[in-house]
A and B are shown apart, each in its own frame.
Chain A
C-alpha cells in the first residue's frame, strides 16, 4: 500500500468494483457456463462448511442424543437445550452464578444502562426510522442484559462468571490490550530509529506460532516453582501461588498468552497504515508548529482510523473463537473458570452431549453476530462516514 492509497481512501470509499469496467467486462464474452465454472467450486465448498452444517447443527441443538440398540438416535426435544443453558441446570456453567451486587457493581450497572438509554434517546431525536429504532432497541436490550449479567457475576459478592461472560472478558480485555500495544509499537517504529527492520521481524513472530505451542510455553512460564520467573515470584512472596489454580490467575495467564500472540497482528497492519499516511498533511502540521503528540492525535490517528476500525473488527470476530489457549494452558480449569464458549461446546461434545454442545455453539454464533453487527453499526460505519 502506498501513500496515494490512503489519500484516496479518505477522499471517498474505494470500492472494488469500478463501474467504468462494465463495458469491458461484457467484451470478455464469458458464457453462462464459463462464469459458473469459475465460481461454483468455491460456492459449493463454502456451502459444505457453512450452510449444510448450520442446518444440521440447528436440528442437533433441538434434540437429544440417545443410545439405542445398535447405535444412537436423535430425539427432538424442542428448545430444551437452550432452556437448560439459560435457566436450567447448565446456567451456572454457561451464564455464571449471580449474586447481589457490590456498590461498584451498582455503579457500573446504572452507568451502563443510563448510557444505553442516552444513546437511544439521541438516536430518536436524531430522526432514526421506526425500523432503525426497533433494531437499536433490540441491540440495547441485549447489551443491557449483558451488562446486568456481567455486573451480577463479576462485580458481586460471591458471584461466578460462566463461559459466556469469561469469553466476553477474553475478547474485550484482549482486544483492548492488543490494540493499544500494537498501536504504540507501530508508532515507535515510524520514528526512523536505526534497526527498526529487525524489530519489525521480531515483533511479527508470535502471530505465526501455533497457539498450542504458545499455550505450553506460557504454562512453563507460569510455573512458580520450576519456571524461569521463579526468583521473581519468590521475591514478591508468591512462590506458593499457583497461577493456574486460582480462577483469576488462570484467566490472566490465558489473556497474557492471547495478548502475546495477537498484538503482532494489530501491530503489523497499523504500522503499514501509519507508513502509508499522507505525508503532505504531516509536513503541513510540522510547519504550523504542531508537536509530536498533536501530529499523532490530530493528523495520523484520524488518517488511520478506518484501518483501526477494520483490524479491531477482524480480531473481534476471531477472538470469540478462542479455544486452544484455555484448553491447553489450564484445561478450562480450575473448575470451569477459564472455559471459553468454544471449549464449553467441545467438552459437551466429548461427553457425547451433542444437543447441549450444538446449543452452546449456536449461542456463541448468536453472540458473535450481535457483537460484530453492533460494532459495525455503532463504530465502523460512523468512522467510515467521517
Chain B
C-alpha cells in the first residue's frame, strides 16, 4: 500500500540493511540498558551493589527480594502516600485541564470573539489598581470587589468606544504562548498565594496549579482536533434548537473521544512527572513520587537497591502509557498539532 516501503524493502542492499539494523539495535540497547540496570539493581543486596558491577541475575548473583520487601512492607505507608498523591493529583489535574481546555478550544473554533484592546487594557488597569490597593494595606476582598466594580462600570460606559479588537487567533496564540514561561519564574507568587489561603502542601494546590499550567497544551491540541470535525452535524443540531452547551456535550465531545483520550494521556504524563512545582508547593502531606524519590538521596545517601524499587514504582505507569501513546501518536495527533 505504501510504494516507498515496498520499493525500499526490495532495494535496500544487504549491507545497508545490516547497517540499519546495527544502528537501530544499538540505540535500542542505549534506551533499554539503563532500565535493565534499574530492574536488576532492585533485586540486589547492598553488598552485591557495592562490590562492583554484576550483570546477570542467577548467573552473576542471587536475586533477592529484600529491597522490595523493605519498600512494600517496612515502609508501607511512606510508599503508599506519595503514590496515592501522585495518582490523585495527576488524574484530577488532567481531567480539570481537559474540561476547561477543551471548552476554550471549542469556543475558539466555533464562536467569534472580538476582545477589544481597550477593554483588556481596562482589565489590566483594574487588576493593577487592586494590587496597589492591597499593597497599601487594604484588605484583599474589598479591594478586589472595588476594582471589579470599577472595571464593570468603565467597560460598560467607555468600553464601546475602543474599536481595535483582537481575533480568535490572537487569543489562541496568547494562550499557547504561556508555555514559554519558565515555571520557576511564576512559582514564588503562587507559593505565597497558597500560603495565604492555607493550601500549601495540599493536593488541591497541586491540582489547581498543574491544571492551569497544562491548559495551553490542551487548548493547542484540541483546537486542531475540533477544527477537523465536520461542522454539519452540529449545524443540524442547532437548527433543531439545541443550545451551544448541548451541542458541545452531546455531539462534539462524543465525536472527539480519540483526541480527548490522547490529549488526556499526554497531559497526564506531564502531571505525573512534574517536579519543580511540587518541589515548591508540597513538603510532606501532598508529596508526590518524584519528590519522594529525589529526597531519598538527601536522607540516606544513595542506597541504590531501595531507590531502584521506588523509581520502578514511579515509572511503570508512564511506561505503560508510552506503549499506549505510541499507537495514539501514530494515528497522527501530534503532527496535526505541529502543523497548527
Please give the distance in Å from A275's CB to the nearest CB on chain B: 8
Task: Return the CB mask of A14-32 against B: 1 if under 8 Å, else 0.
Answer: 1111100110111111100
Contact residues of B between 186 and 227, Cβ < 8 Å to A: 186-190, 192-193, 208-209, 211-213, 215-216, 219, 223-224, 227
- Interface 9-mer from B69-77, B155-163, B289-297: B289-297
**Given A268-B329, A268-B334, A272-B335, does the pair A202, B32 have CB atoms closer than 8 Å?**
yes
How long is the Cα–Cα vector from A114 to B269 in the complex, in angstroms?
A: 45
Please tell me if B21 contacts chain A, counting CB pairs below 8 Å.
yes
The answer to whether residues A46 and B212 also contact, given A203-B28, A212-B294, A272-B329 and a CB cut-off of 8 A, is: yes
Q: What are the residues of chain A within 8 A of B297 when measuring CB–CB?
A: 216, 328
CB-based A-B contact count at 8 angstroms: 341
| A67 CA / B101 CA spacing, docked (Å) | 41
How far is the CB of A295 from the nearest CB of chain B, in Å?
Answer: 9
User: Are A60 and B189 interface neighbours, CB within 8 A?
Assistant: yes
Whether, in the assembled complex, A69 has its beta carbon less than 8 Å from a beta carbon of chain B, the answer is no
Q: Indicate whether B87 reaches chain A with its CB closer than 8 angstroms.
A: no
User: Are B178 and A46 in contact (CB-based, < 8 A)?
Assistant: yes
- Tell me, yes or no, whether B181 is within 8 Å of chain A by CB: yes
Q: Are B28 and A43 in contact (CB under 8 A)?
A: no
Which of A16, A41, A279, A321 counts the most B-chain CB atoms under 10 A from its CB?
Answer: A16
Within 8 A of A (CB), among B13-52: 17, 20-21, 23-24, 27-28, 30-35, 37-38, 41, 49-50, 52
Please, how many angstroms separate the alpha-carbon atoms of A208 and B332 in the complex?
18
**Known contacts being A192-B9, A260-B30, A342-B276, is A53 close to B112, with CB within 8 Å?**
no
Interface string of B89-113 (1 = CB under 8 A from A): 0000000000011011011111111
Asked whether B31 lies within 8 Å of A205 as measured between CB atoms, the reply is yes
Neighbouring A residues of B235 by C-beta, 8 Å: 24, 27-28
A197 to chain B, nearest CB (A): 9
- Decide yes or no whether A131 CB sits under 8 A from chain B: no
Q: Is there an interface contact between B53 and A226, defined as CB atoms closer than 8 Å?
A: yes
With beta carbons under 8 angstroms apart, the residue of A54, A190, A219, A273 that contacts B4 is A190
Given the complex of chains A and B, what is the CA–CA distance between A269 and B302 in angstroms? Answer: 36
Stretch of A81-89, A94-102, A118-126, A361-369 with 4 or more beta carbons under 8 angstroms from chain B = A361-369
Closest-CB distance, A213 to chain B (whole angstroms): 4
Residues B302 and A219 in contact, CB atoms below 8 Å apart: yes
Query: CA–CA, A272 to B331, complex, Å?
Result: 9
Please tell me which stretch of B146-154, B243-251, B255-263 contacts chain A, meaning at least 4 of its Cβ atoms lie within 8 angstroms of it. B243-251
- Is the CB of A324 closer than 8 A to any CB of chain B? yes
What is the number of residues of chain A that contact chain B, defined by CB distance less than 8 Å? 115
- Residues on A with C-beta less than 8 A from B339 are 1, 5, 9, 14, 306-307, 310
Which one of A22, A27, A203 contacts B238 once the chains associate, using CB atoms below 8 Å? A27
In the complex where A209-B315, A279-B4 touch, is A321 in contact with B329 (Cβ < 8 A)? no
Q: How far is the CB of A142 from chain B (nearest CB, A)?
A: 17
Instruction: A216 to B181: give the CA distance in the assembly, Å.
Output: 27
A42 on the B face (CB < 8 A): yes
Q: Within the complex, what minimum Cβ distance (angstroms) separates A215 from chain B?
A: 8
Q: Which of B171, B186, B245, B340 contacts A50 (CB 8 A)?
A: B186
Which residue from chain B places its CB closest to the CB of A26 in the assembled complex? B112
Question: Do residues A201 and B322 form an inter-chain contact, with CB atoms below 8 A?
Answer: yes
| A9 contacts across to B, CB distance below 8 A | 339
Among B131, B181, B184, B212, the residue within 8 A (CB) of A55 is B131
Q: Which residues of B contact A283 (CB under 8 A)?
A: 3-4
Q: Which of A216, A260, A349, A354 contacts B31 (CB 8 A)?
A: A260
Q: Is A62 an interface position by the 8 A CB rule?
A: no
Whether the Cβ atoms of B211 and A45 lie closer than 8 Å is yes
Please report the C-alpha to C-alpha distance between residue A231 and residue B231 in the assembled complex, in whole angstroms. 63
Q: Which residues on B sit within 8 Å (CB–CB) of A206?
A: 31
Q: From residue 293 to 340 of chain B, which have CB atoms closer than 8 A to chain A?
A: 293-294, 297, 302, 304, 307, 311, 314-315, 318-319, 321-323, 325-326, 329-330, 332, 334-336, 338-340
With the chains together, A384 CA to B294 CA distance in Å? 42
Whether a CB of chain A sits under 8 angstroms from the CB of B61 is no
A60 touches B188 (CB 8 A): yes
Q: Which of A16, A21, A200 is within 8 Å of B224, CB to CB?
A: A16
- A221 near B34 with CB under 8 A, answer yes
Looking at B192, B276, B318, which has the most chain A CB atoms within 10 Å of its CB? B276
Complex CA gap A200/B328 in Å reads 12
| Cβ-closest chain A residue relative to B312 | A213
Nearest CB in chain A: distance from B261 CB, A: 16
Interchain CB contact under 8 A, A17 and B168: yes
Contact between B103 and A42 (Cβ–Cβ < 8 Å)? yes
B149 CB to closest chain A CB (Å) equals 18
In whole angstroms, how far apart are the Cα atoms of A283 and B304 in the complex? Answer: 54
Q: Taking the complex as formed, is A217 at the interface, i.e. its CB lies under 8 A from any CB of chain B?
A: yes
A320 at the interface (CB under 8 A from B): yes
CB distance A50 to B20 under 8 Å?
Answer: no
Closest to A328 in B: B294
Instruction: Confirm or deny: B122 has a beta carbon within 8 angstroms of a beta carbon on chain A.
Output: no
For B62, list chain A residues within 8 Å (CB).
Answer: none
Q: Which residues of A contact B275 (CB under 8 A)?
A: 210-212, 323-324
Among all A-B residue pairs, the 9 with the closest Cβ atoms: A56-B189, A38-B107, A42-B104, A53-B186, A192-B5, A1-B332, A361-B185, A208-B322, A53-B189
23 CB contacts below 8 A, A to B, read: A1-B336, A2-B332, A24-B235, A34-B243, A35-B111, A37-B245, A41-B104, A42-B103, A42-B175, A49-B212, A208-B273, A208-B319, A210-B290, A210-B311, A216-B297, A218-B34, A221-B37, A226-B50, A226-B52, A268-B329, A272-B332, A346-B276, A354-B188
Measuring CB to CB, which residues of chain B are less than 8 angstroms from any residue of chain A?
2-9, 12, 17, 20-21, 23-24, 27-28, 30-35, 37-38, 41, 49-50, 52-53, 55, 100-101, 103-104, 106-113, 127-128, 131, 167-169, 171-172, 175, 178-190, 192-193, 208-209, 211-213, 215-216, 219, 223-224, 227, 231, 234-235, 238-239, 243-245, 247-248, 269, 272-273, 275-276, 279-280, 289-290, 293-294, 297, 302, 304, 307, 311, 314-315, 318-319, 321-323, 325-326, 329-330, 332, 334-336, 338-340
